[in-house]
Structure 1
Amino acid sequence: MRNAQHHLPAVLVILSILLFSYSTGCRLLPEGEVDPTPWDNPIIRDIYSADPAALVHGDTLYLYVGHDEAPEDATTYAMNDWYCYSTKDMIHWTNHGPVLSVRDFSWADGNVWAGQVVYRNGTFYYYVSVSQSSTGGMAIGVAVSDSPTGPFKDALGRALITSNMTKFSGQPRWSWDDIDPTVLIDDDGQAYLYFGNTYPKYVKLNEDMISFDEETGIQPLLLPFVAGLPFTEALWIHKYKGTYYLSWAAGWEEQLVYATSDYPTGPWKPGGKLMTHAENCNTSHHAIVEFKGKGYIFYHNGTLPGGGSYRRSVCAEYLTYDEEGNIPLISPSP
């Protein structure tokens, strides 16, 4: 009895620590270990969000996401606008609300899908996937703003790329051919726009960023099978130590893979699997950036209450490279 009484205070201390850890979401780690993700996933919880695109500008990371508005029993997407969130530390996020909507494109008439914001010469350019039934399906539009938090406005009054521009010999055609734009402004100033579903493509953008080089035109992007999986969609381009990394969603249900090249248009060498299939969601879409000395990958899953393939939520993980420039496989949050 004396032994039990003697150890009771220690037991109470341990129980108190465990209860504090549970209530705050902290994890107890062995001494010397660092919590690999000191934030809770999903990082966006006030709306259902998808198709993240990240931009680092100054000391701030801006995260642009699509807004999933489908009801819980939905069998298709309902997306009408894009939101912007910002952070200076990856822990505390500010919601800047919707910064662009399908209603801002007079020529658009339906769902809005993935996009990306890039900055050049004092202007922020938002390249987005928008439905335009008059030209046969999804199109790529571009909006501009002098602030990373918008509001963004249609730059052209028409689509930059439409599905009737991208019919290549021998390729079937469907309404979602031309989606998921990603943009790289290379060190020499040349900008490239990559996009597509099933058949990836690219164009060289002109210096104004709202037109493309019509002499070279829209070109097929020749990508290898990676990890035995064919290209599906969700391209993302970034550059690390002089090497171009092109990553995308492959197979179905989608997983993330990547390839590398010495040139922005290839040839592309298979890299490997980047991330396995995310929880409770059949699609995958991601963004990769370096922010304050660390690499990050943003993606979506369907793990919030009521979530699923049409009610997704954006998450984040650390991303690293080994000594040879390979990206180790990343496991999505459960």
Structure 2
Amino acid sequence: MKFKTIFTCLVIFGMTNILQAQNPIISEIFTADPAPLVYKNTVYLYTGHDGATLEDTNYKMPDWYVFSSKDMVNWTNHGSKLSPATFSWATGEAYAAQCIERGGKFYWFVSTFHKNDDNSKGGAAIGVAVSNSPLGPFKDAIGKALIVNEMTTDMKHAWDDIDPTVFIDDDGQAYLFWGNGSCKWVKLKKNMIEVDGGISTFKPKNYIEGPWVYKRKNLYYLVYASAGTKPEMIEYCTATNIAGPWTYQGIIQENVTNSFTTHPGIVDFKGKSYFMYHNGSLPTGGSYRRSICIDQMYYNPDGTIQKIIQTKEGVKAVK
């Protein structure tokens, strides 16, 4: 009898741990490169989709997915909403992307590769899709890439134009940041589908890829995957002007479980700040089979970011 009681307690304890473990937040498919968007009391999460098999030794990312939640814990899978096949000029994988709302329309900036044709010699490129709903349908907004490899020449490898992040400042000016090996940025016109002026390039300390740009209390934040050590970590800079200079602030996220890469996605929702990232912690997961997690994010009084504590429990539901 005593043995049965102990066994029952262990089973209940194990089930409780499973129920409390929220990370990764999506388990039915492998997801990467989180890009959250708050719209009408809902968080929409735009993600990459890792389709690699256990035997694959590189990324296979066929499309982009959308999930949504009203409490940061229960997520609805809305399925695949966009792929490189949407763009007639594109080929290759569905790399990191971010969607932003302006004027009731939703602009999904994506990175993939460009076909070798009259408009480009190939290499990584950034496109933009548009929809009247955060869930689509999305279509190619301009029928061509917004950024092609020939427009940036500071890095000599073909995959430097990836990982777009988009930000609209308080004065209405929109900015696009992106880049592997160096960080590049450009103003966008109000229509969100044309660049406005020249491209600027700089390299924050240890920068490698995956930038995420936002503003909080008159301070601009540039959060990114770093190459100071391998595997990647997340580091960041701040500035009082979107054009810089940027002040390096340090590491906020250490290496993640079972994945060479990590990628930030940051959002404020119902009075709390959240940090999204991916790791390889699901069964059969890894660097090419990643999964998105969420943990709480906290700021110090001076605006600096406290170290992210990676947990299996994740975050609690918000009302």
- Using structure 2 for the length normalisation, give the TM-score: 0.91
Whether 2:140 is the aligned partner of 1:154: answer yes
CA contact (8 A) 2:89 2:115 kept: no
Counterpart for residue 236 of structure 1:
212
Say which of 37, 46, 54 aligns to 1:55.
37
Give secondary structure in 2 for the equivalent of 1:112: coil
Counterpart for residue 16 of structure 2:
24
CA distance in 2, matches of 1:198, 1:207: 28
Counterpart for residue 266 of structure 1:
244
Say which of 290, 294, 300 aligns to 1:312.
290
Counterpart for residue 124 of structure 1:
106
CA contact (8 A) 1:297 1:319 kept: yes
**1:175 Cα offset (Å):** 1.6
CA distance in 1, matches of 2:245, 2:102: 27
Give secondary structure in 1 for the equivalent of 2:63: strand
CA contact (8 A) 1:278 1:333 kept: no
**1:158 Cα offset (Å):** 0.5
CA contact (8 A) 1:221 1:265 kept: no
Counterpart for residue 245 of structure 1:
221
The letter for the 2-side match of 1:159 is A
Say which of 101, 106, 124 aligns to 1:138.
124
CA distance in 2, matches of 1:269, 1:286: 19
Say which of 56, 70, 83 aligns to 2:52.
70
CA distance in 1, matches of 2:224, 2:267: 15
CA contact (8 A) 2:31 2:50 kept: yes
Deviations 1:245-279 (A, max 9, x none): 11000013100001111011211111121100111
The letter for the 2-side match of 1:196 is G
Counterpart for residue 202 of structure 2:
221
Counterpart for residue 182 of structure 2:
199
The letter for the 1-side match of 2:225 is A
CA distance in 1, matches of 2:7, 2:58: 46
Give secondary structure in 1 for the equivalent of 2:24: coil
Query: How many residues end up aligned between the 2 structures?
Result: 306
CA contact (8 A) 1:39 1:91 kept: no
CA contact (8 A) 1:177 1:196 kept: yes
CA distance in 2, matches of 1:265, 1:152: 31
CA distance in 2, matches of 1:249, 1:122: 31
CA distance in 2, matches of 1:238, 1:17: 47
Give secondary structure in 1 for the equivalent of 2:96: strand
Say which of 65, 70, 89 aligns to 1:83.
65
The letter for the 2-side match of 1:48 is F
Identity level (%): 48
CA distance in 1, matches of 2:43, 2:234: 22
CA contact (8 A) 1:39 1:90 kept: no
Extract unaligned runs of 5+ from structure 2: 313-319
**1:15 Cα offset (Å):** 7.0
**1:305 Cα offset (Å):** 1.1
The letter for the 1-side match of 2:178 is F
Which residues of 2 match residues 313-328 of structure 1 at below 5 A?
313-328=291-306
- C-alpha RMSD over aligned residues: 1.9
CA contact (8 A) 2:61 2:94 kept: yes
Counterpart for residue 168 of structure 2:
185
Give secondary structure in 1 for the equivalent of 2:304: coil
CA contact (8 A) 2:181 2:207 kept: yes
- Using structure 1 for the length normalisation, give the TM-score: 0.87
**1:91 Cα offset (Å):** 1.5
Deviations 1:63-112 (A, max 9, x none): 11101011111111111110000000111110000111111111111111
CA distance in 2, matches of 1:73, 1:63: 28
The letter for the 2-side match of 1:62 is Y
CA distance in 2, matches of 1:101, 1:264: 31
Extract unaligned runs of 5+ from structure 1: 28-37
Which of structures 1 and 2 has the bigger CA Rg?
Answer: 1
**1:20 Cα offset (Å):** 2.4
Where do 4+ consecutive residues of structure 1 move more than 6 Å?
A: none
Counterpart for residue 315 of structure 2:
none
The letter for the 2-side match of 1:42 is P
CA distance in 1, matches of 2:247, 2:71: 34
Counterpart for residue 109 of structure 1:
91
**1:17 Cα offset (Å):** 5.5
The letter for the 1-side match of 2:92 is G
**1:16 Cα offset (Å):** 5.3
CA distance in 2, matches of 1:276, 1:19: 33
Whether 2:95 is the aligned partner of 1:95: answer no
